Amino acid sequence: MERWLATARVFLAISALVAIWMAPESSGYSPWVYWFLGLYIVHGVVVMLLLRYRHESTKAFRTLVHGADIVWPAFVSLFATSQQSPFFLFFVFVLVAAAYRWGLPETFGTSAAIVTLLWIESVAVKLGLVVWFDRVLAHNGLPLLGVNVPDLEPKHLITISAYLLVMGLLLGYLAEQQKQLRAERAVITRVLGRVRVDEGLSGTLREILGELLSVYGARRALVASQETNSYRVFVGEVHASDGRPSQLRWLESSATDRETYLFESNANAALAVRRNGGFQLLGLDSEGGRLRMSPGDGMAHLASAQSFECTAFVSFVFGREWWGRIFLLDPGMGGDREEELRFLQELVRQVGPAVYNVYLLRRLRQRAGAVERARVARELHDGAVQSLIAMEMQVDVLKRSSESRDSVLTPELARIQGLLREEVLKLRELMQQMKSLDVDSSNLARHIEEVVERFQRETGISAGFVCEVQPLQLPQLTCREMVRIAQEGLVNIRKHSGAKHAMVRLDGREDCYRLSIEDDGGGFSDLTGRFTFAELEAMRKGPLVIRERVRLIGADLALESDPSRGSRLEVRVLRHRETENGQ
């Protein structure tokens, strides 16, 4: 930048020198003008050489050069100040240089400094200092200064001053806008550079939230998101730590996460500041238009869950599959807050498609993994399972033959046969877990019934299924997880309970759907009584896989265990969630 300005400075000075040299009779300039322009050209060349051999331009160097650019034109303008003078272009140059280097305050300050110098010159003329200099020069036989006194009259300077101030204001405003656009483009480019497929979705979100923390000077950043086929709201948190973002930490899910983070609001982006025990809100719609919002609208739950003095949030929607909000807690928004919010909207809008591609790639990998698991399941069924069944049948033949001869090998063959049968059951259970489930509300009951029938057929344990609710209205993910919970519950009954009877029931109440699994076995060895989901989580006891699946869909869990009567597992899914997000 400074090299371009140095080149323009020298070119402008040489052009002015040539202009007055080619028409000296019409201009009537003093010989001193040629000397001053020559010195200005030397000054410009020295600056060019310094920039040629300096590795960088410091702030002090730029300020010194800019000060010289203000003083030289003001000094040369003693000989012609009007807009028709070639020297007036030096003022334009210094204003453009200020706008090119900085912004509105510096450019307008430059124009004010030029105007001040011109008025000082006018006062000097009024006080007779120019006449005194001419006398000194004449006494020493030197040419007179030849100052153009009429151009320094107040009536002329008022017009020139207004022109320079307005030009400084206009150029500074344009420079400020251009600087802001460059800064915003740089931020967007930097954030887009953080989107990396190899980092995965969590790594990408961490990098983006970290950049937002840096740009807005916020203390913490939260991302709350929900897939349209899921009840659970995922909430991640990133802290600003020593200039670098912390790792993305996923918070424990809660039944109130939706009301806390994804509350209903007309605003696509908003800034909330605490005022007199409430909140003052500034909201924008999806097009960036300002909205009228009531104080504290939708912020009560968030304020109870998170500590902050002010917060900004922006919503995002990716296709019909994923939506949520980003929260910046205690951001340092200065100046025009409305413009800061609009930039936050634009940033999310620009970066969103790249993040959505990472999300879709994750989904694609999950589906590819499901296809591969289905292939492995088929290979197991056609290979290992069939071989184990054949071996079990051969062992059964040998056992029957040894029983007729009252052989001592009979108990050992029976043990081997039992082990083979157990391995076949484990492989079949593994195959069922590996298969992808195409299940929704319309066929959920049928899938659970098939799971129960297969369990009874393969284990010999009496089992039944009762469905007491029709029709069902649940997201696909919840239906899939409920089938998996039924499978896992029956597997636990076979492995650990020693039960002879099992019952699976699906029913509904006014506020929830219930899936219960009960048996008449020995219950859980380390649990006796009734336990809630929160108690099981705190004790880290109970069926781990089922707890994880319950947490995934945002459901509730209750467990009853009695060594004399068996166990009962109950999963509850709230009904009111079925209408959220159009589900």
What are 77-103's pLDDT values in tens digits? 776 555 556 677 788 888 888 888 888
Q: Is residue 119 part of a domain?
A: yes
Q: Would you say how long the chain is, in residues?
A: 583
Q: Are residues 169 and 224 in the same domain?
A: no
Residue 570 has what pLDDT?
92
Instruction: Please write the tens of the pLDDT for every residue from 252-305.
Output: 777 688 888 988 888 889 998 888 777 888 889 888 888 887 765 568 888 888
Alpha-carbon gap, residue 84 to 91, rounded angstroms = 13
Region 498-519 average pLDDT: 88
Q: Is residue 407 part of a domain?
A: no
Secondary element (H or E) of residue 156: helix 154-193
Alpha-carbon gap, residue 268 to 534, rounded angstroms = 34
Alpha-carbon gap, residue 429 to 444, rounded angstroms = 19
Residue 52 has what pLDDT?
78
Q: Is residue 108 part of a domain?
A: yes
Structural domain for 54, as ranges: 2-190
Q: Are residues 179 and 242 in the same domain?
A: no
Strand, coil or helix: 464: strand
**Burial, 211: exposed, middle or buried (Cβ in 10 Å; 0-12, 13-18, 19+)?**
buried
Q: Under a CB-based contact definition with an 8 Å cutoff, are residues 272 and 299 in contact?
A: yes
Q: Please give, one letter per residue, the 3-state secondary structure of 211-252.
A: HHHHHHCCCEEEEEEEECCCCCCEEEEEEEECCEECCCEECC
Please state, rounded to an integer, the average pLDDT across all residues of the chain. Answer: 81
Alpha-carbon gap, residue 100 to 536, rounded angstroms = 65
Q: Under a CB-based contact definition with an 8 Å cutoff, are residues 169 and 182 in contact?
A: no
Residue 581 has what pLDDT?
38
Instruction: Please write the tens of the pLDDT for every residue from 202-248.
Output: 888 888 888 888 888 888 999 998 887 666 788 899 988 776 778 88
Q: Under a CB-based contact definition with an 8 Å cutoff, are residues 156 and 88 in contact?
A: no
Q: Are residues 181 and 262 in the same domain?
A: no
Q: pTM higher than 0.75, yes or no?
A: no
- Domain with residue 292: its CATH number is 3.30.450
Instruction: Please write the tens of the pLDDT for every residue from 456-474.
Output: 888 888 999 999 887 777 8
Q: Are residues 176 and 206 in the same domain?
A: no
Region 383-400 average pLDDT: 76
Q: Are residues 180 and 219 in the same domain?
A: no
Q: Are residues 468 and 544 in the same domain?
A: yes
Alpha-carbon gap, residue 380 to 374, rounded angstroms = 10
Instruction: Please write the tens of the pLDDT for every residue from 305-335.
Output: 888 889 999 999 887 778 899 999 999 877 7
Alpha-carbon gap, residue 217 to 329, rounded angstroms = 9
Q: Is residue 121 part of a domain?
A: yes
Name the band, by pLDDT with cuts 50, 70 and 90, for residue 583. very low
Residue 81 has what pLDDT?
53
Q: Of 345, 360, 375, at which residue does a domain stop? A: 360
Q: Is the pLDDT of residue 436 over 70?
A: no
Q: Are residues 463 and 356 in the same domain?
A: no
Alpha-carbon gap, residue 312 to 221, rounded angstroms = 10
Q: Of 142, 160, 190, at which residue does a domain stop? A: 190
Alpha-carbon gap, residue 99 to 424, rounded angstroms = 79
**Burial, 517: exposed, middle or buried (Cβ in 10 Å; 0-12, 13-18, 19+)?**
buried
- Domain with residue 486: its CATH number is 3.30.565.10
Q: Are residues 184 and 202 in the same domain?
A: no
Q: Are residues 36 and 135 in the same domain?
A: yes
pLDDT-above-90 percentage for the chain: 10
Q: Are residues 42 and 12 in the same domain?
A: yes
Q: Under a CB-based contact definition with an 8 Å cutoff, are residues 296 and 278 in contact?
A: yes
Alpha-carbon gap, residue 439 to 467, rounded angstroms = 16
Give residues with Cβ within 8 angstroms of 577, minimum separation 6.
Answer: 231, 554, 583
Q: Is residue 286 part of a domain?
A: yes
Q: Is residue 374 part of a domain?
A: no
Q: Of 360, 390, 406, at which residue does a domain stop? A: 360
| Helices H / strands E in the chain, number of each | 18, 15
Residue 27 has what pLDDT?
47
Q: Is the pLDDT of residue 580 over 60?
A: no
Give residues with Cβ within 8 angstroms of 21, minimum separation 6.
Answer: 34
Q: Are residues 445 and 530 in the same domain?
A: yes
Name the band, by pLDDT with cuts 50, 70 and 90, for residue 166. very high
Q: Is residue 144 part of a domain?
A: yes
Q: Is residue 403 part of a domain?
A: no
Residue with tokens 């990133």: 238
Q: How far apart are the first and last CA of the chain?
A: 57
Q: Are residues 294 and 168 in the same domain?
A: no
Q: Under a CB-based contact definition with an 8 Å cutoff, are residues 284 and 342 in contact?
A: yes
Instruction: Report residue 559: phi and psi, to 5°.
Output: -130, 130
Number of domains in the chain: 3
Largest CA distance in the chain: 147
DSSP state of 103: -
Residue 502 has what pLDDT?
92
473-477 long-range Cβ contacts below 8 angstroms, 24+ apart:
473/441, 473/578, 473/583, 474/440, 474/441, 474/444, 474/513, 474/573, 474/578, 475/228, 475/229, 475/230, 475/231, 475/578, 475/583, 476/229, 476/439, 476/440, 477/227, 477/229, 477/230, 477/231, 477/552, 477/553
